[in-house]
Structure 1
């Protein structure tokens, strides 16, 4: 399966960026000037700006919010400065698109008109799920004299977006609708654009279930009446690709990650790495995609020192080899004569290839939590160590292809379409196939996208929890705050849990989509941002549970659109299931209408408040090379060539950097 590549390089597109916004200023200020925007002259630049904006949001916020990765440079739950993002949406992109919409509303090029409507709808959809209130129906593009612009609430905006997508879908005409030239998305393929409009309509419809399930069903049915125009392969998906000229069309990630890493002395805090909470699921269900997405621990840093995880192993006891005093020797000999197996219990440390990165140093023991005492320490003094590394050497960084010059930006995948159809089948009985068929197709699409074999896919899907309609409880995270589990055996709700979680992993690095999905479903219900346990990040928050639910509107709106701004915030608070008056109501803590409240948040907070000790563990990677010392030795001999007269301990040191920290004791295994 081919992943959709842009047919047209964005080098040409970037040349069109300069002056597009200026043209709008001219329209609004010089009524005598003739300005004829065209699809060819503007649209490619709008796509490139959208890619950069989504990349910025992902990198600085949504990758962290979604827990796809840990970006140490952006681990605070909140980052201010929304004015630039908001201006990019409205001034740099939407104003250009509105001009194109007006230009082609006369039917002179129906396909260009429909493509512009589709892109507009996609932008408004993302804005509404980010902010809540949006300026849409009264956007003020028609009059230079309009000073105050009204906001639409979520429900109104989503209905307009759905109708806009329906209008776009009906307008596409591959036979006589006009050509799409200089198209950086689908290379002028009208049929693919039509599928995008219809698939996006299904996505928006399923996203509004918590606002109106009836409306969600109605619009989902409209999309699935034309199931032939839902994404059918990776060639259809919306995953535009950057170009190869840094100053013209190069990737935002290349500039923000690759260049600081390779040109500015190696700034590794800018590089995303394996997140603990998503890793808990990948370890629990043996997900081979992890090895595609991430490099091994320490592989990125020259001369790095390996991070060694703590563990306990047992080995056959031999006084002649490992040493015993006379009293112990007699005791051990007596045990053996009684037919008992005698073994040593050892505290060890060793290297593993994939180790997660913690959210941040201060977040590991917030609220005065303490590390628990080591139960194996006879002195009762030692504390358990944090199993996750705090140094840059040991992190598992993402594969550099994801921040290459010509990286792709996932916006709506084929796998998304599969899981949306599975959800629509379970919830509304819509679609021509079974929910299981759609679900399986979504996982298969993700495996194919990541270059994995059919054998790997079959092994993954045979597991309890992954296999449709089955459940499995996996590992805890390193502090036992969450447990990775899939609940497919629990009726329709359990099957939806499978759909949501598999969609999350198939959507890797689509941070905006993942954050939206989690707020809508609360399926993964990852822990909040603790930082050091003292911050709420913004007025109105609870330091025990900080998780961003939206972005603030820019403060510039208070100066330029004051009356309508305050009306919008009042409306936001009135319609929220969990209103919050902090920061005059415009805060990150207010639940949006489309979102589901966090399940049992009060109970979770109470659990945090009653915690005294953090139960540090590495269960998700414990016994990595085997259950016993003997199995570790066997694995070591398969990894490295044994050396003559080398002890097992020396072999394990070479193979896995294994160190024996202490012998906890000697015990018997009764036969």
Structure 2
């Protein structure tokens, strides 16, 4: 991987935009002989967190394209390999996040030299783990041990994916112990320096612990790592706990510098719909409209015109380019507010709430579903059913939050969850007590997790599918049960790809270490064989 040297002037730019969105302009590193020689590491952390939040939308989108959240709309052409899965080098890859990892390394290295910045170092370590594991989950082996050395090593060797995961677990353990929010000699994180948790060290620890749980669950079926998994679960601090609140980044998004979800799936600053050329798929919609599960409660806050027979939500199966509905004029399909004109757009609930909404990094719903799986498989001790139901409730809760993060007036999570459970009383995918086997219980957990992550963390839904085979898909079946594109060229039974190819830059500048990927045959090391 060709890594350019760090140019310190970029950090002045980052420091100036800490209160805004992704600061993508500052990912470009230019040579400037007048650049300062040093910038405090604590000034870099907020911008790095904001950039990671912006990348989260891109990760979710690539996952949603594969795992049945998103389909091509009518009236557009040129979808190419997104429909056939004949991915070329770099399709869907978020390799650019190495630039953000370089920023985080600057914080880690600089904070290590200043004991007062221990909390900044710990937070940067957690965010670095968050970014690195996502790259592994896309590509498997990646530059890791020799990465981020700038001009000292333009062609780093690739590290084995499983060894990277083991080291990421070590780093999370160390970060949890590093956090020290009480000592008077330690500089505190606050709302300015920490757009994710506003200086709440307990939440940072829970986030790290939940991220550790995610990694352990993901590798739990890998034979060579089972001893490591057992060891790590055995020393997991259960008194620390896991996320019970959504991890939501918000540096102060405003209309002119909006939340990245809004700018990707909602509206431009001029009030025009973002030209996505995408609509929801029948596969995901069936979990709301009764074709698989009856869930009008969440469906109404996610999808424009959900359940309206006279003007139904536009839907398609990926790959169908004949007679499929276009994107509705003036509206984003995932926006459920009122748009009277370009200058009159109300805030909404659901996924696309408004330009000032926070950006989810990890949902509390995922935390509960991870716990439910750990309880089911005996890795941790706890009530699986309670965790499962808390996961569904947490999903309702996030979708019912308004743009300011408050529960919307008139919304009652407990009441609507009870109604949801009653409406689907015969389905073990909703009432897990109806599941007769552990396989059905796992299917229920992963399927509800899939529903909760819809258009929020789509990459995690694809990771779970590759790891477990859930939610179930029926290749060649109806549009409501077949996740895959109808024009897929994948020879696999499920007609889906398995991973993402490395970007062209790697083949151009690091060819000696970069291998060709067969994205229909090669698998991530933790994938179900």
For Structure 1 versus Structure 2, the TM-score category normalised by the shorter chain is 0.7 to 0.9
Assess if the C-alpha contact under 8 Å between 1:553 and 1:586 holds in 2.
Answer: no
Assess if the C-alpha contact under 8 Å between 2:429 and 2:447 holds in 1.
Answer: no
Q: Judge which range, 155-164 or 14-23, deviates more.
A: 14-23
Residue 42 of structure 1 deviates from its aligned partner by: 1.2
State the TM-score, normalized to the length of structure 2: 0.77
Secondary structure of residue in 1 paired with 2:151: coil
Deviations 1:320-374 (A, max 9, x none): xxxxxxxxxxxxxxxxxxxxxxxxxxxxxxx36755611256378xxxxxxxxxx
Distance 1:529 1:113 in 2: 41
Q: Among 235, 242, 253, which residue is 1:230 paired with? A: 242
Deviations 1:198-254 (A, max 9, x none): 11111111111232333333323433x3343311x32xx32223644455x423344
Match of 2:201 in 1: 190
Secondary structure of residue in 2 paired with 1:82: coil
Assess if the C-alpha contact under 8 Å between 1:363 and 1:530 holds in 2.
Answer: no
Residue 446 of structure 1 deviates from its aligned partner by: 1.7
Q: Judge which range, 273-282 or 507-516, deviates more.
A: 273-282
- Counterparts of residues 286-365 of structure 1 (less than 5 Å): 286-287=294-295, 288-296=297-305, 351=309, 357-360=315-318, 362=320
Deviations 1:368-406 (A, max 9, x none): xxxxxxxxxxxxxxxxxxxx9534459992125444322
Match of 1:40 in 2: 42
Distance 1:390 1:18 in 2: 35
Secondary structure of residue in 1 paired with 2:286: helix
Match of 1:273 in 2: 279
Assess if the C-alpha contact under 8 Å between 2:126 and 2:172 holds in 1.
Answer: yes
Distance 2:91 2:486 in 1: 28
Distance 2:271 2:23 in 1: 29
Distance 1:547 1:57 in 2: 18
Query: How many equivalent residue pairs?
Result: 461
Q: Among 503, 510, 529, which residue is 1:561 paired with? A: 510
Assess if the C-alpha contact under 8 Å between 1:271 and 1:398 holds in 2.
Answer: no
- Counterparts of residues 43-58 of structure 1 (less than 5 Å): 43-58=45-60
Q: Among 441, 450, 453, which residue is 2:390 paired with? A: 441
Q: CA 1:359 to 1:262, structure 2 compared with 1: closer, same or farther past 3 Å? A: farther
Whether 1:122 and 2:80 are equivalent positions in the alignment is: no
- Counterparts of residues 227-626 of structure 1 (less than 5 Å): 227-231=239-243, 233-234=244-245, 237-241=246-250, 243-245=252-254, 249-259=257-267, 270=276, 272-282=278-288, 283=290, 284-287=292-295, 288-296=297-305, 351=309, 357-360=315-318, 362=320, 390-393=325-328, 397-399=333-335, 401=348, 402-403=351-352, 404-431=354-381, 433-451=382-400, 452-453=411-412, 454-462=414-422, 463-464=425-426, 465-466=428-429, 468-471=431-434, 488-490=435-437, 492-509=438-455, 510-526=457-473, 527=475, 531=485, 533=487, 536=489, 541-542=490-491, 546-565=495-514, 569=515, 584-587=516-519, 589-597=521-529
Assess if the C-alpha contact under 8 Å between 1:298 and 1:396 holds in 2.
Answer: no
Of the two, which has the highest radius of gyration? 1
Distance 2:418 2:16 in 1: 37
Assess if the C-alpha contact under 8 Å between 2:22 and 2:53 holds in 1.
Answer: no
Assess if the C-alpha contact under 8 Å between 2:21 and 2:50 holds in 1.
Answer: yes
Secondary structure of residue in 2 paired with 1:109: helix
Match of 2:405 in 1: none
Distance 2:29 2:332 in 1: 44
Deviations 1:74-131 (A, max 9, x none): 652546562895552112x011111111111233321111000000000001111111
Select the structure that is richer in helix: 1
Alignment gaps of 5+ in structure 2 = 1-14, 337-347, 401-410, 476-481
Q: Judge which range, 82-91 or 159-168, deviates more.
A: 82-91
Secondary structure of residue in 2 paired with 1:410: strand
Assess if the C-alpha contact under 8 Å between 1:10 and 1:243 holds in 2.
Answer: no
Distance 2:174 2:84 in 1: 38
Secondary structure of residue in 2 paired with 1:239: strand
Q: CA 1:272 to 1:208, structure 2 compared with 1: closer, same or farther past 3 Å? A: same
Q: Judge which range, 279-288 or 127-136, deviates more.
A: 279-288
Assess if the C-alpha contact under 8 Å between 2:122 and 2:176 holds in 1.
Answer: yes
Residue 146 of structure 1 deviates from its aligned partner by: 2.1
Secondary structure of residue in 1 paired with 2:355: coil
Alignment gaps of 5+ in structure 1 = 1-7, 300-350, 365-387, 472-487, 570-583, 598-671
State the TM-score, normalized to the length of structure 1: 0.62
Assess if the C-alpha contact under 8 Å between 1:21 and 1:96 holds in 2.
Answer: no
Q: CA RMSD in A?
A: 3.5
Secondary structure of residue in 2 paired with 1:70: strand
Match of 2:174 in 1: 167
Match of 1:620 in 2: none
Distance 1:389 1:559 in 2: 39
Secondary structure of residue in 2 paired with 1:411: strand
Residue 188 of structure 1 deviates from its aligned partner by: 1.3
Whether 1:150 and 2:157 are equivalent positions in the alignment is: yes
Q: CA 1:354 to 1:37, structure 2 compared with 1: closer, same or farther past 3 Å? A: same
Distance 1:99 1:406 in 2: 29
Residue 594 of structure 1 deviates from its aligned partner by: 1.1
Residue 587 of structure 1 deviates from its aligned partner by: 3.4
Residue 530 of structure 1 deviates from its aligned partner by: 5.8
Deviations 1:566-621 (A, max 9, x none): xxx3xxxxxxxxxxxxxx43535422111114xxxxxxxxxxxxxxxxxxxxxxxx
Deviations 1:290-325 (A, max 9, x none): 1111121698xxxxxxxxxxxxxxxxxxxxxxxxxx
Q: CA 1:516 to 1:556, structure 2 compared with 1: closer, same or farther past 3 Å? A: same
